[in-house]
Amino acid sequence: MVDLIEASRLDTSELESLLDEYLKELSSCREIPVGATDAASYPYLDTYWFEKSRHAFLVKYSGLVAGFALVRDPISTESGVYEFAEFYIKPEYRRHRAGHSAVLAIWQRFPGPWELQFHAQNRAAAQFWTLCAEKTATEVPKVSEVQSRDGRRIQLNFNIPSVA
């Protein structure tokens, strides 16, 4: 059973711990070693407590914290699309559909145009995000390669339908 819980400022220490794990894992996928490497060097977490266009979630699996998601809406991105700023599921909860269920719950809350990016070297992310988007989007995702400060990324653009 997966639950998506809106995080609050009271959850900051839990999110920082998860963010530390996530950024450590993510660093192995970067082609160029730049950017935050731990929660202390991540500049955006506090903005999720005062910007209405940013949304922080804890993902729980059978009542236990399994991961987190940080979502930016079109006002925050200033590009007319939703984005996962960060998304992480602890390794022990992967292959239990915790990530997929969390993504679907978020997309049900925020239907519309989405843009996702993941590091080109991150094969697990490529498989996960492509599968999620292909199963849920109204059309086949548009795939492109973009250059970022930390190297090549794959970008998916697609639309999530609203649930009637």
Residue 95 is predicted with a pLDDT of: 87
Share of the chain above pLDDT 90, in %: 77
The pLDDT of residue 160 is above 90: yes
Tens-place pLDDT, residues 73-125:
998 888 899 999 999 999 999 988 999 999 999 999 999 999 999 999 999 99
Residue 38 is predicted with a pLDDT of: 78
Q: State how many domains the chain has.
A: 1
Residue 149 bridge partners (DSSP) = none
Residue 50 buriedness (CB in 10 A; 0-12 / 13-18 / 19+):
exposed
Tens-place pLDDT, residues 34-46:
567 778 889 999 9
Task: Give the range of the structural domain holding residue 74, as residue numbers without chain letter.
Answer: 2-160
The position carrying tokens 């697609």 is: 158
What is the crossing angle of helices 98-109 and 123-136, to 10°? 50
**Any idea what the CATH number is for the domain that residue 123 is in?**
3.40.630.30
In angstroms, rounded to a whole number, what is the distance separating the alpha carbons of residues 99 and 88? 8
Share the mean pLDDT of the chain.
Answer: 92
